[in-house]
Amino acid sequence: MSRPGHPAGGDEPRRRAAQHGPVHARGQARDLATTTLRLVVDAITDGDTALAGAILAQVQPESPDNTVATVSACIGLTLGLLDDWLTGNDPQTPRNLGEQAPVFQ
């Protein structure tokens, strides 16, 4: 049941999840996650999965002083990007990405 002034369904659940989840990593945490994931992608693209694994092994559950990328920031950044791509909300989405995504049954 929707509350007055709130749409039934729509973007409301996504908006609430984004406000309270790791998708909203900001500042240094987001920069560290972005850099880490870029290095991982570059290593995989170069065929160096050992390097990609070593980079991912440095990601920590928490980083109170924001000196290393955190698991939640990396997951949140990645899921946010995939959500934007697969829902067509990003004009830079790789062509036919939705068709390339595996279908799970």
Residues 39-74: tens digit of each pLDDT: 999 999 999 999 999 999 999 999 988 899 999 999
**Which residue is associated with the tokens 């694994």?**
53
Taking the CA atoms of 78, 82, 88 and 94 in sequence, report the sign of the dihedral they define: positive
15 part of a folded domain = no
In a domain, 32, yes or no: yes
- Decide if pLDDT at 98 tops 50: yes
In a domain, 101, yes or no: no
Structural domain includes residue 1: no
Q: What mean pLDDT, rounded, does the chain reach? A: 79
d(CA 48, CA 42): 9
> pTM for the whole thing?
0.65
3-state secondary structure of 67: coil
CB–CB of 8/61 below 8 Å? no
Split into its structural domains, the chain has a count of 1
Find the domain containing 29 and state its range.
24-88
